[in-house]
Every structure is written in structure tokens, then in C-alpha cells.
Amino acid sequence: MSAAAALAALRGVVADPVFAALKALVIETTGMAFYADKDEELARILWTRMEETGIARCAGYLGLLRDPVAGIAEMEALVAELTIGETYFFRHKEQFDALRSTVLDDVIERNQTIRRLRIWSAGCATGPEPYSLAILLKREFGARIAGWQVSIVATDINQKFLARAREGRYDDWAFRSVPDEIRHTCFDQVGRQWFIRPEYKRLVTFHYHNLITGPIPSPADNIAAFDIIVCRNVVIYFSAAAIQGLIPRFRDCLAEGGWLIMGHAEPSPDLFRNFRAVNLPGAVLYQKREPAPAAPVAPLPLPVRPAPVRGHVPRRPPPAAPPQPAVPVPPTGAALERVRTLADGGDWDEAAKACDHLLAENALDAGLHFLRGLILEQMGALDESEKALRRAIYLDRQRVLPHYHLGLFLWRREDALGAARSFRNVLGLLERYPDDHAFGEGDGITAGQLREVVTVHLGLIGGV
Ligand SMILES: C[S@@+](CC[C@H](N)C(=O)[O-])C[C@H]1O[C@@H](n2cnc3c(N)ncnc32)[C@H](O)[C@@H]1O
């Protein structure tokens, strides 16, 4: 088929009156709101499947998907085309460092009596994430968990990915951020391929599970009572509502004191209010809080502990046209660290006070205003938070993260136009950064990650 004919066919799919219903079914089934404004991309995938199944019109294809028997296999084939499976071993090293330094130590200590460890890799794609966990566990904690019952449950919606994961065969590209030593000691080489060794493979079980439509928790599917849930680079494709629905269900799947580790793209820190947020270099982790101690009378509601704020190290001198005629004095590292520690511990009132104290001396420090904006947001002082973020931008337009957070803020306020503007500013500013540039005041997020996340946000916001 010529390129012109192919384009005409795609346009035909988009113009088909049943296309909207197909799109709705796709988003409803997978959660991938990402496709809401990607008609041509979706049409291309649908069209490929329609050709394959010999169906000419969207109505016929919708009928097939809804068929109680044939529809299951066809939905599976469609999902295999829709999902994005980018993954590699030890992706986001800082999160593995956090697992090593804090999380595994904590759960191993906690589970000494039951001698059991359960981890869920939700949205595991072709397997590098759960296998990286198995390698980390066995190589570095093997002696402490010898004889324990260890399971890493890895799930995904894409059956093709799962089949590849079970095979455990990878090419060089999957090891792009892994020292050679790991590849050579944990994998067997066959030609140009690498097979995960049985001692790591046997720790992981793979099975199908849909995070949107599947039950969570689901003891029948072995989805319950986890010590650690890792769900990274999955929800960035979901709508805010889908994410809001998912986080509390993840919490229900965690043992008390269990940990949730997600990517960088959670649109709202408020989502994690029922977790204790723990900031480590380049990673934010969420720990299920211990239940309140038993009380003889009905306990008062506990204050909500919101998600963390990453501190920052102000680096730039203020711009030439300050709003106040103060001479800036850079805040001392110790004072700043104190604000950060208070914020990380969820002590927002004290963090805000300490931040204001620093600002009294450093009124023109964009980074401090940014930090204050994040703290105020956590306190629910939304108007003040917005002002602080805008002030940070006013003082230093080149600083990337205040634009990003203002974008998230406006998006949550359903100001799609304003949010899209902020996100586009972020993309513009990111042009000057290489992918691996890490933003110190942004929890170590890299320019590449931020670019990916903001592009997805813009996609979700749609064509404004
Ligand atoms: C980009 S990959 C992330 C893989 C891995 N977590 C990582 O960070 O390297 C996203 C994965 O989420 C899966 N996924 C998307 N929607 C899903 C859903 N509704 N339920 C379960 N998995 C889903 C995709 O099939 C894909 O394998």
C-alpha cells in the first residue's frame, strides 16, 4: 500500500463514527489516557489489528472486542500493540540505592520472625525490573535471608512482554546502565544473548494482571501482603483519576510498614497522604504508616502526613530586577538542610517557619521561594503556594522545576491552558540540558526523565 493510501486509511479510521467508542474502550480497559489525544497513533494500531482480523469498519472491530469469547484474545493482541515496554536492568539507580540502604534493611529486620519477603513489581514489562530486584536481594542480602520464603511477583497487562520475561533472555541494550560484572556473573551468554541464571530466575513469578480492571488486593492472584511494591514508569500513561484510584489500593496490598516505590511522575503529592514519605538522594519512597496505637476511646483523627518536598541548594545569584530592595545573603547549608529535614519528616509548620526565617535574609532567592511553594502546597495553603511558585519563576525564569510544579499545580486546579503553558516552558528550558543532567532540587530527577514525564502530561492534558 502506498504512503498516501495508508494515510487515507488512517484518516478513515479516525473519521469512522465508532472510533470514539473504540478509543473509550481502550482507555477504560488499559487506563492509558495517554491515547486520549493521539488519534492517529491509536488509529494506526487499530488499523493494523483490523487488517490482521480482516475487519473493515470500526463497528465490526468493536463487536469483536466485545465478543465474550473471541474478544479476550483480540483485546490481548491489541494491548500488546498499545503498551510501551521501555525498560532495562537497574533502571533509575538511585531507587536501587534506596532499596539497598533503607528499604530492604527495614523489611528484613521487620520480618525476622516470619522469615518471609514479598515484593510486587507492578507493570514489569519484559522483566528487567523484577530480575534486578532478585539480583540485588540474592547478591547483597542473601546471607540474611537464607532459608526465607522470598517471592517477587511480577505482573503486566501485556502477555507478549510476560512471555519474554519468563524466557529471561536479553540483549546488550538491556544492560546499558549495569556494570559488566553483573552481566557476566548473573547471566549465561549464548551468542549475543544473555540468559538470567536460574538462582535469580526462580525468585520471580510472572503473571497477567491489569492494574485498572483487575482486583487489588487479590489474594487469589497472589496480590496481597507485600513488603515492597515497585510500580515505576507505568502510571505516567494513566489519567489522574486512574492514579488516584490506584494508590490507596496499593496501600491496601502492603503489610504494615511496607514500602511503595514509584517513578517520578506522580502528578500529586497529596496522593500519598496516608504514607510516610522518605526522601533519599534521588528517590522518594512511601512507607505505609503504622496503625495508631490502640486507645480506650475512639481516637481523634491523625493529622495527615503529606508527601515530601525535596530541598534545594540555591546556586544562582538573583536577577537584576528584584521585587524587594534586599541584599541577598545565601542561606547557610545547615539552615537549609534543617528546612529540608523538617519538610521530609512532614513537619510542615516548622518547615514553613524555618523557610520564612531564611527568606527574611534571602528574599531574592528563587530556590527558597520554590521550596516555600512546595511546603505551602503540602499545608493546603494553595493560593500562597501558587504565589511562591510564581515568585520563584519571576526571580529566575531559567529554573526548570518551578515551572514544572506550577504546571502540576494548575493542572490539579483544572487550568489546562495554564498547565500546558508551564509544561511547554519546561520543555523549552530542558533543551539546554543533556538527558542525564540531574536536578538537585527535584529529587534527582534527570532532564531526560522530566522531558518524558512532561510530554506525557501534555499528552494527557490534550490539545490546548
Ligand atoms: C514503560 S514500562 C515500565 C517497565 C518497568 N516498570 C520499568 O520501569 O522499567 C510500562 C509497563 O506498564 C504496563 N502497563 C500499562 N498499562 C497497564 C495496566 N493497566 N496494568 C498493568 N500493566 C500495565 C505496560 O504493558 C508496560 O510493560
Q: Are residues 135 and 37 in the same domain?
A: no
Is any atom of ligand 1 closer than 6 Å to the C-beta of 239?
no
Whose cell is 489525544? That residue is: 37
Q: Answer whether 258 contacts ligand 1 (Cβ < 6 A).
A: no
For residues 42 and 116, state if they share a domain: no
Same domain, 441 and 381: yes
Give the residue carrying C-alpha cell 540502604: 101
Q: pTM score, two decimals?
A: 0.69
Q: Under a CB-based contact definition with an 8 Å cutoff, are residues 403 and 443 in contact?
A: no
Q: Are 355 and 361 in contact (CB under 8 A)?
A: no
Let me know whether 392 and 255 are in one domain.
no
Residue 99: DSSP 8-state: I
In a domain? residue 315: no
Q: How confident is the model at residue 266 (pLDDT cuts 50, 70, 90)?
A: low
Residue 308 pLDDT > 60: no
- Which mutation among 131, 234, 452 tests ligand 1's pocket best, with the greatest number of atoms within 8 A of CB? 234
Provide the pLDDT confidence category of residue 362 given band limits of 50, 70 and 90: confident
Cell numbers for 348, please give them.
510542615
3-state secondary structure (DSSP) of residue 229: strand
Q: How many domains would you assign to the chain? A: 3
pLDDT above 60 (res 278): yes
Question: In which residue are the cell numbers 493542572 written?
Answer: 411
The domain boundary residue, chosen from 82, 117, 150: 82
In a domain, 398, yes or no: yes
Residues 400 and 410: their CA atoms lie apart, in Å, by 16
Domain identity same for 265 and 149: yes
In a domain, 438, yes or no: yes
* Nearest CA-CA partner of 231 in 95, 94, 404: 95
Residues 111, 229 within the same domain: yes
Residue 447 lies in a domain: yes
Cβ of residue 233 lying under 6 Å from some atom of ligand 1: yes
Mean pLDDT, range 103-132, rounded to an integer? 97
- Any domain includes 306: no
Q: How far is the CA of 146 from the centre of ligand 1 (A)?
A: 31
Strand partners, 151: 118
Q: Are 106 and 75 contained in the same domain?
A: no
Cross-sheet strand order for the sheet of 193-196? 169-170, 193-196, 187-190
Flag whether pLDDT at 270 surpasses 60: yes
Task: Print the domain residue range for 49.
Answer: 3-82
Q: Whose CA is nearest to atom 12 of ligand 1?
A: 123
Question: Bridge partners of 154?
Answer: 121, 206
Question: How far is residue 173 from each of residues 88, 192, 438, measured CA to CA in Å?
Answer: 8, 11, 22
Instruction: Establish if 326 belongs to a structural domain.
Output: no
Question: Averaged over 257-265, what is the pLDDT?
Answer: 86
Pick the last residue of a domain from 288, 320, 355.
288
Asked if residue 151 and residue 272 are part of one domain, the reply reads yes
Bond before 130 cis per omega within 30 degrees? no
- Rg, C-alpha atoms of the chain: 24
Final residue of a structural domain among 34, 59, 82: 82
Residue nearest to atom 11 of ligand 1 (CA): 123
* CB of 438 shorter than 6 A to ligand 1: no
Q: How many CB atoms lie within 10 A of CB 169?
A: 17
Residue 229 lies in a domain: yes
69 and 99 part of one domain: no
Verify that 65 and 111 share a domain, yes or no. Answer: no
Ranked by mean pLDDT, the top range of 23-32, 371-380, 446-455 is 23-32
Q: φ and ψ at 14, to 5 degrees?
A: -65, -40
Q: How confident is the model at residue 440 (pLDDT cuts 50, 70, 90)?
A: confident
Residue 180's CATH number: 3.40.50.150
3-class state of residue 1 by DSSP: coil
Asked if residue 9 lies in contact with residue 3, where contact means CB atoms within 8 angstroms, the answer is no
Q: Does residue 392 share a domain with residue 279?
A: no
Does the residue 322 lie in any domain? no
Whichever domain contains 340, its CATH number is 1.25.40.10
Give yes or no for a contact between 38 and 14, defined as CB atoms under 8 angstroms apart: no
Same domain, 76 and 150: no
